[in-house]
Amino acid sequence: MKNIVTRIQSPTPKFFKVLRNVGLVLLSVSSVIAAAPIALPAVVITVSGYVAVAGGILSAVSQLTVPSEEKLAREKELEHYSGPGSEINSE
């Protein structure tokens, strides 16, 4: 099993970057609701707490996700073929 530090430092797939950002938005919105200077119903505050937890977990799990070995191999192969003068890079 990969080390946590290695997983954090490795690239995150695009889909999980989007999920991480959604989690951060949920976390920030719930923080604003929880710190609102006006009196809000207890249900709103309770839901805000659950949304904060969900956003934090979503962001953390998404950050620790790494691409599969097959995808890394394909990306490395494409880097090899997309050098200067190749057909892929000739646009």
Mean pLDDT by 10 residues, the chain (91 residues): 73 88 94 89 92 93 79 66 55 48
pTM, two decimal places: 0.66
pLDDT value, residue 7: 76
CA of 78: how far to CAs of 46, 51, 82, 83, 84, in Å? 49, 40, 6, 9, 12
Q: Tokens 């937890």 belong to which residue?
A: 53
pLDDT value, residue 11: 82
Domain-wise residue ranges, the chain: 4-81
Amino acid at 82: S
Question: In degrees rounded to 5, what are phi and psi of residue 64?
Answer: -85, 0
Dist CA 22 CA 55 (whole Å): 7
